[in-house]
Structure 1
Amino acid sequence: MAASHTHYRRLIDFAATLPPTPTAIAHPCDAGTLEAAVEAARLGLIAPILVGPRDKIASVASAADIDVGQFPIVDAPHSHAAAETAVRLVHEGTAQALMKGSLHTDELMSAVVARATGLRTERRISHCFVMDVPGHADPLIITDAAVNILPTLEDKMHIVQNAIDLAHALGFPAARVAILSAMETVNPKVPSTIEAAALCKMADRGQIVGAILDGPLALDNAISLEAASVKKINSPVAGQANVLVVPDLEAGNLLAKSLSFLAGADAAGIVLGARVPIILTSRADSVMTRLASCAVAALVALRRREPGNAIAS
């Protein structure tokens, strides 16, 4: 593991001390997913349950020289059936987390949000990146860059609360939430600034709990004390935010990928708001990123079982 990834190493090392989280991996029919499953199991992060076409899984494993003989395989004929079967394993209590294999995100999430058979809760489902940015003192949670395209104000209330709960599961000393926009003042012509102000007032009224919120904030004065000082913004969040809430999916995707490709950051991905954490990986993810995503899911699952447990970031 690269020396820069201290936050991920701490997450992985702590999660490895816990009992492995039984994790249903939907359609693990590519070498990257199987390699990550084997390594995550070796480290004790998860106990993989491979859900998909038995022959295809065996063929991919054999071609890549990956030994999956120690893992249970639940046969499912195709990716859609694999997603539905993985969700059923959660309902049965066999799995405490889900992991995306080589199927489209929409396929897995359709099974998760199905009204009759899915894993919905009263919360809006949302995605968080836990980013390990070289040179940045703290890990950054960025939300939502993968699930909610144009979230409403009500959606954002759930998105923020999901991210706060994740910060607590990871043991952040304090969740400091910046509601991002292009500027730090409320401008009636820029809807994201109005929603940012509304979310902060929701926190004041107890509709969002467990964190300090500030917004609207531009990215620079959310994460740079110097930039916040220049703009004369004085708050417990400005310049030291560790949770960044973006206006929409496009902004979040651009921010996360900019950090990844320009700053060398890694982005562990997790979906929250369902009955269990969902590890949402990309084919381009490194093994390190996949392991960090497994570690995050294990800590979220632990928090749900034992609310007092967390890891310091």
Structure 2
Amino acid sequence: MKTTDNTPESVVENVTFGEIAIGQSASLTRQLTLTDVELFATLSGNIDPAHLDEKFAADSRFQKVIGHGMWSGSLISGVLGSVLPGAGTIYVSQDMQFRRPVGLGDVVTAVITVTEKRPDKQVVVFDCVCVNQNGEVVTTGIAKVIAPSNKVRRAAHELPQIQMIRHDKHDALLDKCKALPPVLTAVAHPCDGSSLRGAVEAAEAGLIEPILIGPEGKIRALAGLHGLDIDPYLIVNVKHSHAAAEAAVALAHSGEAEAVMKGSLHTDELMVEVVKKETGLRTGRRLSHVFVMNVPTYPRALLITDAAINIYPTLEDKVDIVQNAIDLA
């Protein structure tokens, strides 16, 4: 009986129909990771939460996140296409039974063994079995392929690296806020769709309790246009953006609001009021700006400072800028 090891990464060499022997086998071993599961879901479109959501999976039959059944099947396909017979193989059919779930961290070995050769059409039949690290069978099946006639030996194609781009890092911050009371927030001039929607969505998420400051008629008209319910929120009616900035900062200065949120007004309009010595929000430190960034190539949210207020900071200014970011974090 001949046995073929896992595919070499540097060279691809197939086994022709004439070279294949009954009882010959090959294998491929892989460990299931969360990235594998998410990538398989992305490619296949199978977004069953039993594979993707730990909380949902905990209440399922298997009480844990499991891999897609066809992930094991893909290992069988990998052996057939890359090792035995290898390059030039035509997949004809695959019968498969799923015996046991594969969980995150499980190491699965797919083994295929030649059971039959049909010379008339160069069909080869394989017995297929996938076992986990404990020797437990997870998948079985029968595969039929048309084996290649011509010998191939060549350098393996270099596969690209895969980067999973995520947009959910802010969710971790939002989760931490769920146990906190909403922040009473003066929203200065929320007079376009995005700024008003941002305030309403933040309120609905339990992050803020907004005080909407601006021309009341315009704010209500915008809410109706965008289907936003602003009835639960206090509106402070002022004529224009300058007055909205002044009123928002005054509420924060007096302690009637805990934060100020910028709406659809220029930054300098708001900052003029913020930096006033007597009525503004100045402290012993220099004012600075912080972005919370969701960067696909970094595993956590990043705080980036300063990118909006201090254009040419001195070394002393940078001390305050850094300390502000630390305190915010």
- TM-score, normalization: structure 2? 0.49
Q: Give me the whole-angstrom Cα distance separating, in 1, the residues matched to 2:187 and 2:215.
A: 12
More RCO (CA 8 Å, sep 6+): 1
Q: 1:136 aligns with which of 274, 279, 298?
A: 298
User: Which amino acid in structure 2 is aligned with residue 120 of structure 1?
Assistant: R
Residue in 2 that maps onto 1:25: 187
Larger helix proportion of the pair: 1
* Aligned twin of 1:158: 320
Q: Which runs of 5+ in 1 are unaligned?
A: 168-313
Cα pair 2:165 2:297 within 8 Å, conserved: no
The one of 65, 72, 82 aligned to 2:244:
82
Q: Indicate conservation of the 8 Å contact 1:17/1:44, yes or no.
A: no
Is 2:181 the counterpart of 1:7?
no
Alpha-carbon shift at residue 164 of structure 1 (Å): 1.6
DSSP 3-state at the match of 1:142: strand
Q: Cα offset for 1:25? A: 0.2
Runs (4+) off by over 4 Å: none
Correspondence 1:38 to 2:197: no
Aligned to 1:197: none
Against the structure 1 CA distance between its residues 78 and 3, is the aligned structure 2 distance closer, same or farther, given a 3 Å change threshold? Answer: same
- In 2, the alpha carbon distance for the partners of 1:166 and 1:108 equals 20
Q: Which amino acid counterpart does residue 55 of structure 1 have in structure 2?
A: G
Does the alignment pair 1:59 with 2:221? yes
- Alpha-carbon distance change, 3 to 136 in structure 1, aligned in 2, over 3 angstroms: closer
Give the whole-Å Cα distance in 1 for the aligned partners of 2:256 and 2:165. 36
Residue number among 148, 163, 167 corresponding to 2:310 in the alignment: 148
Q: 2:231 — aligned with what?
A: 69
Residue 113 (structure 1) aligned with residue 275 (structure 2): yes
Normalising by structure 1, we get a TM-score of 0.51
More deviation, 157-166/117-126: 157-166
Aligned-residue CA RMSD (Å): 1.6
On the 8 A contact 1:22/1:46 being kept in 2, the answer is yes
Structure holding more strand per residue: 2
What is the number of residues matched between the two proteins? 166
The separation in 1 between residues aligned to 2:224 and 2:321, in whole angstroms, is 41
Shift of 1:35: 1.3
What code does the residue aligned with 1:158 have?
A: D
Look at both structures and tell me which one has the larger radius of gyration over its CA atoms.
Answer: 2
Q: Percent identity?
A: 58
AA matched with 2:243: A
